[in-house]
């Protein structure tokens, strides 16, 4: 064991440098154990939402002078921030200092008169900037610097990993290369804000809030954008304004259930997005799902969006993951690597199906880190015990209370390296009794499975739900086989440790290569024992004979 891993150090060291770098580029809200107070989830959401409301999205001609563009827009007020990116064409995200500037810009903007087609007049915050006389444009610098909104290609990532200095460095490199950037985060909040404008035509006091991996600190560039149409504020207003003996209520339409109300609302908003939403294409209403949703592509931002409503618990679970991600810098690095490993071996997919999801993998990593000795992450029960009266939160009868001020949670004393944790993660789940045990981050220990799904991960708030109910036995077996194989590869490398070199894959990079077990499993039937059993036995024999066996995972 190295005495401390790279990021678990105090200000003045590498961690502080990384932190400063993150702060200066603004790419990470939180995420290392330095002394800087970390923002609450609700504070981040509030600030970002307000920032998005002062922001516009402009489709630009491909050749444009940045200086003139900014000067032109500054007529409407000072600009706080801007960046360009390429989607279907060149786009600019421009954040004004004041919200009034947006209205000023809208007031001088015209609705295009089209030739054979007709425009549906909708005054949004998505604009197209046209050149009045293209020939009159200057011949000065044509290409504006563009900010990338996609993750590095597998080839590029592979190269980066091969050139890293250590396995710890590889995990950190992978995190830095694939996490959401400051600009991508702003674009996500802006997209929600633009959808809010459309939904606001029906429900003026609604809010559209991002949740899931866009905000829980585990988002990867290119991940989908989960949105929550929040209508609760509308209800709240009226509650405050009652006084005296009278109680005033709105006359409303009644429907038989909450679910039907959700379906009706989403159906109308979906229709609106389809008919009037600038750049909203491929709108699908998936209203019979357990959690009804409207799925669409937002062309200008390039995001695949899932809009839900009446889904407040998911927002709370995003907050919980945000807290776990911010408590210790090893958490996100490990989660990103495990997710990338799972994707590389097709354990996860962008298409819904019988596979493990990223959300389930994140829960598995959190659970594993709760099981270390000393634990790296606290249990949800512990976070609930730390909660104040203001943190109390009951949603639809489910207890969603936990401490929201992450500065009051004591950092872990565990100093294990990422390298060790990655190896131990694979070993832990390569040997986990999935047939009888359930993964439970609330208590931080295995529970007996309450039902017979192959993989059981308890939803931390709706405790009767299994978040991985969709996973089949064969998909779980594939996960276990690959976990064992990866543990084996890391052990082998430990023994005859190849010196890191840019020429050959090593460490984490090896784990992302096509699996040996997969090819062996084709011939599996001919053999007495499946490949993964043999790998497991080999691992055990190394551990019992070798001096450098892994530390106790506490979980077996």
Which residues 210-229 are close enough to bind Mg ion by CB under 5 A? 212-213, 224, 226
Q: Which is nearer to ligand CTP, 311 or 515 (CB)?
A: 311
CB of 225 to Mg ion, least distance (A): 7
Choosing among Mg ion, ligand CTP, none, which partner's interface includes residue 420 (Cβ < 5 to 8 Å by kind)?
none
107 vs 110: CA distance, rounded Å: 8
DSSP category for residue 57: E
CB of 365 to ligand CTP, least distance (A): 12
| 213 forms part of the interface with ligand CTP (CB under 6 A) | yes
C-beta nearest to ligand CTP: residue: 212
CB of 254 to Mg ion, least distance (A): 33
The alpha helices in 232-352, defined as continuous H runs, are: 232-240, 258-276, 312-327, 329-344
CB of 459 to ligand CTP, least distance (A): 6
26 vs 102: CA distance, rounded Å: 24
CB of 414 to ligand CTP, least distance (A): 25
DSSP category for residue 179: B
Cα distance between the two ends of the chain = 21
CB of 550 to ligand CTP, least distance (A): 29
Q: Which is nearer to Mg ion, 213 or 329 (CB)?
A: 213
CB of 3 to ligand CTP, least distance (A): 34
23 vs 32: CA distance, rounded Å: 11
Candidate ranges 100-108, 148-156, 209-217, 416-424; the one touching ligand CTP (CB under 6 A) = 209-217
Which residues 355-394 are close enough to bind ligand CTP by CB under 6 A? 357-359
Largest CA distance in the chain: 82
| 223 forms part of the interface with ligand CTP (CB under 6 A) | yes
Q: Which is nearer to Mg ion, 83 or 359 (CB)?
A: 359
Candidate ranges 144-152, 223-231, 259-267, 536-544; the one touching ligand CTP (CB under 6 A) = 223-231
Instruction: Please give the C-alpha separations between residue 193 and each of 121, 146, 321, 413, in angstroms, as whole numbers.
Output: 19, 23, 23, 41
Interface pick for ligand CTP out of 66, 224, 405, 533 (rule CB under 6 A): 224
Give the burial string for 517-534 (b: 16+ CB within 10 Å, else e).
beebbeeeeeeeebbbeb
| 507 forms part of the interface with Mg ion (CB under 5 A) | no
Instruction: Please give the C-alpha separations between residue 166 and each of 22, 119, 513, in angstroms, as whole numbers.
Output: 21, 57, 18
Which is nearest to 314 in space by CA: 223, 228, 204, 217? 228
Answer positive or negative: Cα dihedral of 453, 458, 461, 464: positive
CB of 357 to ligand CTP, least distance (A): 5
| 467 forms part of the interface with ligand CTP (CB under 6 A) | yes
Which residues 222-281 are close enough to bind Mg ion by CB under 5 A? 224, 226
107 vs 104: CA distance, rounded Å: 5
Task: Give bridge partners of residue 295 from the DSSP assignment.
Answer: 284, 306
| 226 forms part of the interface with ligand CTP (CB under 6 A) | yes
Interface pick for ligand CTP out of 77, 212, 270, 507 (rule CB under 6 A): 212
**Cis bond leading into 36, ω under 30°?**
no
| 317 forms part of the interface with ligand CTP (CB under 6 A) | yes
Choosing among ligand CTP, Mg ion, none, which partner's interface includes residue 467 (Cβ < 5 to 8 Å by kind)?
ligand CTP
DSSP, residue by residue, 77-117? S-EEEEEEEEESEEEEEEEESSTHHHHHHHHT------SSS
Residues forming the site for ligand CTP (CB under 6 A) = 211-213, 216, 219, 223-224, 226, 314, 317-318, 357-359, 467
- Interface ranges with Mg ion (CB under 5 A): 212-213, 224, 226
């Amino acid at each position: 064991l190295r005495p401390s891993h790279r990021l678990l150090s105090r200000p003045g060291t590498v961690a502080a440098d990384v932190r400063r770098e993150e702060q200066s580029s603004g790419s990470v809200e939180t995420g290392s154990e330095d002394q800087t107070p970390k923002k609450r989830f609700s504070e981040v959401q509030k600030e970002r939402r307000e920032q998005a409301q002062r922001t516009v999205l402009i489709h630009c001609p491909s050749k444009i002078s940045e200086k003139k563009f900014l000067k032109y827009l500054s007529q409407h007020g000072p600009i706080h921030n801007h960046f360009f990116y390429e989607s279907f064409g060149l786009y600019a995200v421009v954040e004004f200092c004041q919200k009034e500037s947006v209205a000023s810009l809208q007031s001088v903007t015209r609705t295009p008169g089209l030739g054979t087609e007709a425009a549906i007049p909708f005054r949004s915050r998505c604009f197209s900037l046209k050149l009045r006389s293209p020939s009159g444009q200057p011949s000065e610098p044509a290409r504006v610097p563009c900010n990338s909104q996609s993750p590095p290609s597998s080839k590029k990532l592979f190269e980066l990993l091969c050139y890293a200095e250590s396995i710890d460095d590889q995990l950190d490199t992978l995190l830095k290369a694939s996490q959401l950037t400051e600009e991508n985060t702003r674009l996500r909040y802006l997209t929600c804000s633009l959808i809010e404008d459309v939904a606001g035509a029906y429900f003026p006091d609604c809010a559209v809030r991002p949740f899931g991996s866009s905000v829980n600190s585990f988002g990867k560039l290119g991940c989908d954008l989960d949105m929550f149409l929040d209508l609760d504020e509308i209800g709240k207003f009226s509650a405050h304004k009652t006084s005296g003996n009278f109680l005033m209520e709105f006359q409303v339409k009644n429907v038989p259930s909450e679910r039907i109300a959700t379906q009706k609302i989403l159906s109308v908003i979906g229709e609106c997005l389809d008919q009037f939403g600038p750049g909203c294409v491929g709108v699908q209403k998936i209203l019979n799902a357990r959690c009804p949703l409207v799925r669409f592509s937002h062309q200008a931002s390039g995001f695949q969006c899932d809009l839900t409503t009446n889904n407040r618990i998911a927002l709370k679970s995003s907050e919980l993951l945000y807290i776990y991600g911010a408590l210790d810098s090893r958490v996100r690095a490990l989660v990103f690597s495990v997710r990338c490993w799972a994707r590389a071996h097709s354990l996860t997919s962008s298409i819904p199906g019988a596979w493990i999801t990223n959300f389930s993998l994140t829960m598995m990593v959190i659970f594993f880190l709760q099981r270390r000795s000393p634990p790296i992450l606290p249990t949800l029960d512990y976070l609930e015990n730390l909660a104040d009266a203001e943190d109390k939160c009951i949603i639809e009868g489910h207890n969603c209370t936990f401490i929201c001020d992450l500065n009051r949670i004591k950092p872990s004393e565990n100093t294990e390296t990422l390298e060790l944790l990655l190896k131990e993660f694979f070993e832990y789940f390569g040997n986990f009794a999935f047939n009888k045990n359930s993964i439970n981050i609330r208590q931080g220990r295995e529970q007996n499975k309450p039902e017979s799904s192959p993989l059981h991960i308890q939803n931390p708030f709706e405790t009767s739900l299994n978040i991985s109910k969709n996973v089949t036995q064969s998909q779980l077996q594939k996960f276990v086989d690959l976990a064992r194989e990866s543990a084996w590869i890391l052990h082998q490398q430990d023994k005859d440790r190849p010196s890191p070199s840019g020429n050959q894959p090593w460490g984490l990079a090896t784990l992302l290569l096509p699996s040996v077990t997969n090819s062996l499993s084709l011939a599996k039937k001919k053999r007495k024992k499946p490949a993964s059993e043999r790998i497991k036995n080999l691992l055990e024999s190394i551990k019992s004979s070798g001096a450098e066996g892994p530390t106790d995972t506490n979980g077996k």
